[in-house]
Structure 1
Amino acid sequence: MVKTYLTFLLVLSFTFGFAQEPIITSVGFNGAKRIKTTFVEKLVRTKIGSVLDSVQLNEDVIRLKRLPPVSHAYFQTFKLVTGDYDVVFTIEENFTLIPFANLFSSSNDDFAFRVGLQEFNTFGKNITLGGFYQFDVFHSYGLNLRAPYLFSNRLGLSLSYNDFTTQEPVFFNDTSADYKYRNNGFQIMGLYELDFKNRIELGFSLFTEDYKYLSGATQPDIPQSLNVDKHLFKFIYSHEDIEYHYQYLNGFRSTLNFQYVGSTDENLPDFFIGFNDFVFYKRVGKKGNWANRLRAGLASNMETPFAPFSVDNNLNIRGVGNTIDRGTAAIVLNTEYRHTLVDKDWFVLQSNLFIDGGSWRNPGGDFSDFWDEGNIRIYPGVGLRFIHKRIFNAIFRIDYGHGITKNPSRGIVFGIGQYF
């Protein structure tokens, strides 16, 4: 009996010994120069003393690749004689102090531009700090700070101040007028990472909108001057499951943006606005990337010339023109095929074939407006991307779009970064 019992204990001890999972004895980081090692140690979920987990290691690599200071990352494991493991993450860094300049035409075809400077890795802790100056008939400027991991590896903060002044078309009764529009205010947002794929942002903004009539049609019930104090509450929910490999993306992202805007003037009444961007990327062979974005948006359906959704070159339909119409609901689909023509150590040249299409609900209208021939716009086109692989978001794009629906236009659109 005693012999049987001892045999059972011996077998049990061997079973537990062989079933014991390997433990991580050290976690190291190679290639971290400008980004602080203490920051990435806090960010990754692979820790000393935890069980070796390939799923967690892959998630940590993707988490590192999402950071603006990181162009590429991978991990290696080294087995010790004890059966445990050392883990080493290797990071290829981006250059993150980025000046930028955009050239474009304004609503009356005058020369316009925006210049600025942003540091995406302030203090080596993935903090974005930047500002811009814009001339578009009038002068504008803004400052922003975004620190998604300021307080922990989940909790952060963003702050911004903007003073925009532009010439904006306002549409009513099949005609339009130009107004000098100024938006001046600040915003604060709390940022929280729920888990690897999901994060939320919650905050508010206080701002003033000022409209002054410049030229065009007039109407007795359309004010020629407005100065309105407003407040805004914003909620953003983002789900991301995308794999990054330099200029190639593969996966899905959904971003919901919901806002309530309160006003002190009945001419610009309170309203709700919400929209969701569904983005899908698919690798095609070794050099191709298929990219898609569907935006569905809905706002309070007020009959106002100051409707929140706009039809614009730089936002949704390439080639259509700058703010050519407005609406209280929108459905827009952008699809494009990106093909790498040249891929060197630091430089990439991509070609681009795209189709942008969408429709809008007229202010005070109904959902049948989506099928109105005058509201549907479809613009196919071609473009090029010039990409620097070692500088974050250093993508210069140029696209040419040509309309094929009613009252078509055509135009060239320049920009920094991929269109979506």
Structure 2
Amino acid sequence: MKNILFLFVILSCVTVWAQEVTELEYQNNKKTRAGFIKKITQSRIGQVLDSTKLEEDIIQLKRLPGIAHAYYQVVPKKDGNYKIVYGFEENFTIIPSANVYTTNDDEFAYRLGLYEFNGLGRNLIFGGYYQKDIYNSFGVNFRAPFLFGKKTGLSLNYQNLTTEEPVFLDSGTADYKYNNTSYEILGLYQFNYKHRVEAGVNYFTETYTYKNGAVSPEVPQFLEVDKFLYKLIYEYNNVEPYYYFVEGFKSTLNFQYVTSRNEALPEFLIGFNDFIYYKRVGEKGNWANRLRLGVATNNESPFAPFAVDNNLNIRGVGNTIDRGTAAIVLNTEYRYTLFEKDWFVLQGNAFIDGGSWRNPGGDFSDFGDDQNLRIYPGLGVRFIHKRIFNTVFRIDYGYGITRDATNGFVIGIGQYF
């Protein structure tokens, strides 16, 4: 009996020993380099076959801008070991970007850009944008999440942003020409495929120049301040994409500390968290939700950090129509595939955007004030190319149903959230 037990243990060990990965193969990765894929995935030659790691690899690969879809196969070999085959459908990744928005006040603004999302076949992201929102603006961005290895990367950003901003005074509203020139560097670290952090510093100069409207002796008509912004971002991502469908939960915490030497633009802390939940509904439906909770130092300043804006949170509301020192915003929408053939998808969209803000220097009861509450239901369409990264051309029309509401179109590339 002892001999039989001993033989069983030996055979079990031999079996486990034999279940090794002895070959890796990558198929149809025409642009994405095999060396890069090997660097960010977990399977290695000589390791025991682990299906859990393979599933995690596939989720991470499908999140890459250069990959439309990924899968794996485990192929048994004659010697009892295994070959792992990673298969890919790649995206075209040199992509223009566009955002256009209007309101019934005949306001019109747009942003155009061009980005490469899989530079050198190593997931390097580089590009820039031009914006026309009364004034000209531009920015340049570089992002390399795996620049220094499997977990560590770098992000560099420059922007020269000029807009016309409303400043809300006790005596009325003033219009200021606002400029923000900034230089940012962030370190990127990924603990695993679900958890990552970004941390760094942004040096910027803010300039406010009075144009017209109300005036106040307490608010200068020209203001220029150099600032430092220290930033920390933590993201938990358990979202799994399947082409243009997404399912799962994601939470992103953004914490910032902004220094200042000017009392009109005092230093402040700001933190906000985006909770995003996606749910597949049948074969053609996708329910998407985003809840943003944000709070900042409650300075009684007309230059409060949280803005109510078309392109940020409420579709149809207009361009920076209000500001606050805390915010609650909920976006919910149902996306339904109306037509799909090969690479093309036509998707319909019904949404409700709603939110409220705390007034600068106010208290949390401001959230219940009907002057701060905004609710905008609306409809939209999506034109989607399944083989080009983020090529979702969207048109949304939001119609306000709360006090002093507006309505208007928001047009852009990429899903709203």
TM-score between both structures, scaled by the size of structure 1 = 0.96
Alpha carbons 2:104, 2:407 under 8 Å: kept: no
Moved more, 128-137 or 98-107: 98-107
Find the partner of 1:402 among 399, 403, 408: 399
2:143 pairs with 1:146: yes
| Corresponding position of 1:84 | 81
| Corresponding position of 1:166 | 163
| Helix, strand or coil at the partner of 2:37 | helix
Deviations 1:225-253 (A, max 9, x none): 00000000000000000111011000000
Structure 2 CA distance for partners of 1:19 and 1:326, relative to 1, 3 Å: same
Q: Give, as a single letter, the amino acid of the residue that structure 1 aligns with 2:409.
A: I
Q: Give, as a single letter, the amino acid of the residue that structure 2 aligns with 1:29.
A: Y
> Structure 1 residue runs of 4+, over 6 Å off?
none
Alpha carbons 2:171, 2:215 under 8 Å: kept: no
Find the partner of 2:298 among 301, 310, 335: 301
Counterparts in 2 of 1:353-372, with a 5 A limit? Answer: 353-372=350-369
| Corresponding position of 2:232 | 235
| Corresponding position of 2:45 | 48
Moved more, 18-27 or 145-154: 18-27
2:189 pairs with 1:188: no
| Helix, strand or coil at the partner of 1:368 | helix
2:174 pairs with 1:177: yes
Shift, 1:109, TM fit:
4.1
CA distance in 1, matches of 2:15, 2:385: 49
Moved more, 76-85 or 184-193: 76-85
| Helix, strand or coil at the partner of 2:259 | strand
Shift, 1:17, TM fit:
3.3
Structure 2 CA distance for partners of 1:403 and 1:21, relative to 1, 3 Å: farther
| Corresponding position of 2:61 | 64
Q: Give, as a single letter, the amino acid of the residue that structure 2 aligns with 1:297.
A: G
Deviations 1:161-192 (A, max 9, x none): 10011111111226211100000020000000
Shift, 1:406, TM fit:
1.8
| Corresponding position of 1:281 | 278
Shift, 1:113, TM fit:
2.7
Alpha carbons 1:106, 1:112 under 8 Å: kept: no
Moved more, 326-335 or 410-419: 410-419
Find the partner of 2:339 among 325, 338, 342: 342
Deviations 1:235-275 (A, max 9, x none): 00000001110110000000000000001211101000000
Find the partner of 1:327 among 302, 324, 329: 324
Q: Give, as a single letter, the amino acid of the residue that structure 2 aligns with 1:280.
A: Y
Alpha carbons 1:107, 1:322 under 8 Å: kept: no
Structure 2 CA distance for partners of 1:19 and 1:227, relative to 1, 3 Å: closer
Q: Give, as a single letter, the amino acid of the residue that structure 2 aligns with 1:367.
A: F
| Helix, strand or coil at the partner of 2:54 | helix
| Corresponding position of 1:415 | 412
Shift, 1:64, TM fit:
0.5
CA distance in 1, matches of 2:177, 2:230: 25
Q: Give, as a single letter, the amino acid of the residue that structure 1 aligns with 2:26.
A: F
| Corresponding position of 2:115 | 118
Shift, 1:222, TM fit:
1.0
TM-score between both structures, scaled by the size of structure 2 = 0.97
Structure 2 CA distance for partners of 1:233 and 1:10, relative to 1, 3 Å: same
Q: Which runs of 5+ in 1 are unaligned?
A: none
Alpha carbons 1:276, 1:296 under 8 Å: kept: yes
CA distance in 1, matches of 2:205, 2:157: 15
CA distance in 2, matches of 1:217, 1:121: 49
Shift, 1:19, TM fit:
5.1
2:407 pairs with 1:393: no
Structure 2 CA distance for partners of 1:382 and 1:5, relative to 1, 3 Å: closer
Q: Which runs of 5+ in 2 are unaligned?
A: none
CA distance in 2, matches of 1:55, 1:158: 30
| Helix, strand or coil at the partner of 2:370 | coil
| Helix, strand or coil at the partner of 1:60 | helix
Moved more, 158-167 or 78-87: 78-87
Shift, 1:72, TM fit:
0.6
Find the partner of 2:25 among 23, 28, 32: 28
Q: Across the two proteins, how many residue pairs are aligned to each other?
A: 417
Q: Give, as a single letter, the amino acid of the residue that structure 2 aligns with 1:72.
A: H
Shift, 1:34, TM fit:
1.1
Alpha carbons 2:17, 2:48 under 8 Å: kept: no
2:202 pairs with 1:205: yes
| Corresponding position of 2:266 | 269
Deviations 1:170-220 (A, max 9, x none): 112262111000000200000000112000000001110000000111111
Alpha carbons 1:385, 1:396 under 8 Å: kept: yes
Counterparts in 2 of 1:221-260, with a 5 A limit? Answer: 221-260=218-257
Root-mean-square deviation (CA, aligned residues, Å) is: 1.6
Q: Give, as a single letter, the amino acid of the residue that structure 1 aligns with 2:390.
A: N
2:380 pairs with 1:383: yes
Find the partner of 2:93 among 92, 96, 104: 96
Q: Which has the higher contact order (CA 8 A, sep 6+)?
A: 2
Shift, 1:81, TM fit:
2.2
CA distance in 1, matches of 2:140, 2:370: 41
Structure 2 CA distance for partners of 1:274 and 1:229, relative to 1, 3 Å: same
